[in-house]
Amino acid sequence: MKSLLKLVVVAAVGVSALAFAGTDSIEERIKPVGELCMAGDECAAAAAAPVSEGPRSGDAVYKAKCATCHATGAANAPKLGDAAAWAPRIAKGMETLHTHAISGFNGMPAKGLCFDCSDDEIKAAVDYMVEESK
C-alpha cells in the first residue's frame, strides 16, 4: 500500500512539474522587473526634464491646477466668476486668501495639491481668480 501511495505521489509531482514547466521558462518567471541605471552608465545619458523658464502666470496655474475644483465647485470651492461665492472670501483680504491658499483652509489642501507650484505662483493664481470673480 505504501509503495502504491509513493507511486501516486511521484506521478502527481511529475505531471504537475511537466505542466508547470510547459507554461513558461524559469528564466522568464524570475527575471528582474526593471533595470537600475547609475551615473556614468550609458542609460544615464537620457535627456533631463525641461526646466521652467520662470514663474507661471496666475491664468496658467489656474488652468493647469486650480480649475479642477474651482471650475466645478468640487469640495465647495468657489467657482471662478461666481461673485456671490467669492465676496465673503475677498472681504477677508488678499493676505488672508493667499495664506489660506498656500497653507490650506477648510476643504482646500495646502497649495490645492499643486506640489510643483511656488508660493508666488499660488498667489498669482489667487489674484487671477479674484479678478475674474469680482
Query: Could you state, in order of their start, the residue ranges of all structural domains in the chain?
Result: 58-132
Place of cell 498656500: 102
Rounded to 10°, the helix 83-91/94-103 angle is 100
pTM of the model: 0.62
Taken in order 112, 118, 120, 121, is the CA torsion positive or negative?
A: negative
- Does the 58-132 domain belong in CATH 1.10.3720.10? no
CA distances 77 to 11, 71, 132, Å, are 68, 8, 15
Cell 508660493 sits at which residue? Answer: 119
The residue written with cell numbers 508666488 in the block is: 120
Residuewise pLDDT in 10s, the chain (134 residues)? 667 667 766 666 666 655 555 556 788 888 888 888 877 777 776 666 566 677 899 999 999 999 999 999 998 999 999 999 999 999 999 999 999 999 999 889 999 999 899 999 999 999 999 999 98
pLDDT at 70: 93
